[in-house]
Structure 1
Amino acid sequence: MGRVEYWFQEAAPTANTLVPACGALVVDDTGRILMQKRRDTGQWALPMGKMELGETPTECAIRETEEETGIRVEILSLVGIFSEPNHIVAYTDGEIRQEFEITYLARPVRGEPTSNDEASDVRWFSLDALGTLDVHPSMRRQIAAYVDDKMPYLQ
């Protein structure tokens, strides 16, 4: 299924759903961040996906991260809850979502970065290297929330 993202664009359609999504900002022992290159948009993003019935937000973040990157994680803390009415995602099936994402800080516990049906590439990036990547503004906002508060986790 294809999708188009709108970020503060007047041409954005009106949302018809609000679906909780959960993900992880995964940081390794050297301070690098795990990113996946989305097949549907071609942009680099944090692993994240739709919460399923019967799971908690942390369970969703752990599951989605492993499914999308091959990395099993342990949740450390909350980065933030992000819901911007001016961030709209329109899917080809007619669903039009307003962003609602819960992002956790996590550390890797096992696995290797692995591409899959959702991610054409999965890699670790230093904070400096993130500036050169095509990253959606919503993801940049989440990474910035971590960077502003990261010192205790990298020392």
Structure 2
Amino acid sequence: MGRIEYWHDPSAPKANSLVPACGVLAINRDGRILLQRRRDTGQWALPMGKMEIGESPTACAVRETLEETGIEVELTGLLGIFSDPTHIVAYTDGEVRQEYEVTFLARPIAGDPTSNDEASEVGWFRIDQIDDLDIHGTMRRQIAHYVNDTMPHFD
């Protein structure tokens, strides 16, 4: 299923659903961030997906990361809760979603980056490599929140 993301776009269609999504910003011991290239948009993104009924946000984040990247993670904290009524995702099946994203910090505990039916590529990226990637603004905002507010800085 295809999708188009809108952000601060007055031409965006009106949302017809509000869906909680959970994901992770995983950091390996080398300080690299786990990203996947979405098959539906071609853009790089944090692993994240729709929470299922009966599932906790933490379980959703761990499940989605494994499904989308092949990496099993252990959650280490909360990056943030990101909700913006101007961030609209329109799907080809007619759903027009206003996202509500809970993003956790995590570290890898098993697995290797693996492409699949949701991600054409998966990899670990240094912070200085991310600027050159095609990443939607809402994902960049989450990564910037980590880099500017959370990431340890060494002098």
How far, CA to CA, are the matches of 1:148 and 1:127 in structure 2?
Answer: 11
Q: Which runs of 4+ in 1 moved over 6 A?
A: none
Q: TM-score, normalised by structure 1?
A: 0.96
Q: Tell me if 1:124 matches 2:124.
A: yes
How far, CA to CA, are the matches of 2:153 and 2:89 in structure 1?
Answer: 32
The number of residues matched between the two structures is: 154
RMSD: 1.2
How far, CA to CA, are the matches of 1:85 and 1:70 in structure 2?
Answer: 31
1:29 is aligned to 29
1:105 is aligned to 105
Q: TM-score, normalised by structure 2?
A: 0.96
1:61 is aligned to 61
Query: How much has 1:32 moved relative to structure 2?
Result: 0.2
Unaligned runs of 5+ in 2: none
How far, CA to CA, are the matches of 1:33 and 1:151 in structure 2?
Answer: 11
How far, CA to CA, are the matches of 1:27 and 1:149 in structure 2?
Answer: 15
Q: What letter corresponds to residue 136 of structure 2 in structure 1?
A: H
Using the aligned pairs only, state the percent identity.
68
1:86 is aligned to 86
Determine which structure has the larger strand proportion and give its number: 2
CA 1:99–1:153: 2 relative to 1, 3 Å: farther
Unaligned runs of 5+ in 1: none
Query: How much has 1:149 moved relative to structure 2?
Result: 2.4
Query: How much has 1:153 moved relative to structure 2?
Result: 9.2
